[in-house]
Amino acid sequence: MRPIMYVIATILILGCNDSNDEIDPGESLSQEEIDDLQFLKEEEKLARDVYLFSYDLYNEQIFKNISNSEQSHINSAGVILEKYDIEDLSLEERGEFTNDILQELYNDLTDLASTSLENALIAGATIEDLDINDLNNFIINTDHEDIRDMYEKLNCGSRNHLRGFTNNLGNLGVSYDPQFLTIEEYNDILNGSHEQCNN
């Protein structure tokens, strides 16, 4: 297996409100916004699928609980894709992805998770670290209020997930070093309390 950081380092940033309001005919998305949304849907699926993989191995409730939350994130992204009539590139099959980089990342993360509970929790923290960083960039890339609101809610959930994984690692005497967020961003999240995200 190639080092996980090699695969993660290759990822380039491609860049919920459940409103079903009609789109103004003059309202359109940039290609960057479309790419972000398509990538996000698969990235949230990757999170869910890795956590289900880890739950099957270790039967730890954190993986089950957060995989359920990730399904909600997938659904939120799907609502926006449908609202703007954007092609959904995600695949139904667990562990399978249209995006080759995400497919390789999934393979490496599940390889890591299969080695120990500690590494499964590190894989989880890595996913949330990456997800928050991506969402921060996606928020900058859009001026559509409904899309921005969805991103903000998912970001809130991901901050809670990161706290959950790092707390569980702490119980094992292990610390997580952020790979995508700055130390300042990471510490701000850890020093915050659990948030109500409504997603």
Q: Are 82 and 150 in contact (CB under 8 A)?
A: no
Tens of pLDDT, residues 70-121: 999 999 999 999 999 999 999 999 999 999 999 999 999 999 999 999 999 9
Domain of residue 48, CATH code: 1.20.1260.10
- 21 within domain boundaries: no
C-alpha separations of 112 from 27, 74, 91, 179 in Å: 43, 23, 23, 16
Say how many domains are in the chain. Answer: 1
Short-list 4, 2, 3, 1, CA closest to 129 = 4
Identify the domain containing residue 75 by its residue range: 4-9+29-191
Tens of pLDDT, residues 19-53: 444 544 336 899 999 999 999 999 999 999 999 99
CA 166 to chain centroid: 16
Residues 6+ apart with CB under 8 A from 6: none
Residue type, 189: I
- The radius of gyration computed from the CA coordinates of the chain, to the nearest angstrom, equals 16
pLDDT over 70 at 57, yes or no: yes
Rounded to an integer, what distance in angstroms lies between the CA atom of residue 98 and that of residue 85?
19
- 196 within domain boundaries: no
Mean pLDDT computed over every residue of the chain: 89
Question: Residues 129-140: what's their mean pLDDT?
Answer: 97
Residues in the chain: 199
Short-list 44, 32, 53, CA closest to 99 = 44
Q: Are 113 and 120 in contact (CB under 8 A)?
A: yes
Whole-prediction pTM: 0.86
- 199 within domain boundaries: no
- 24 within domain boundaries: no
Q: Are 79 and 71 in contact (CB under 8 A)?
A: no
Rounded to an integer, what distance in angstroms lies between the CA atom of residue 175 and that of residue 44?
24
Scored b (16 or more CB within 10 A) or e, 69-82 reads bbbbbbebbbbbbe
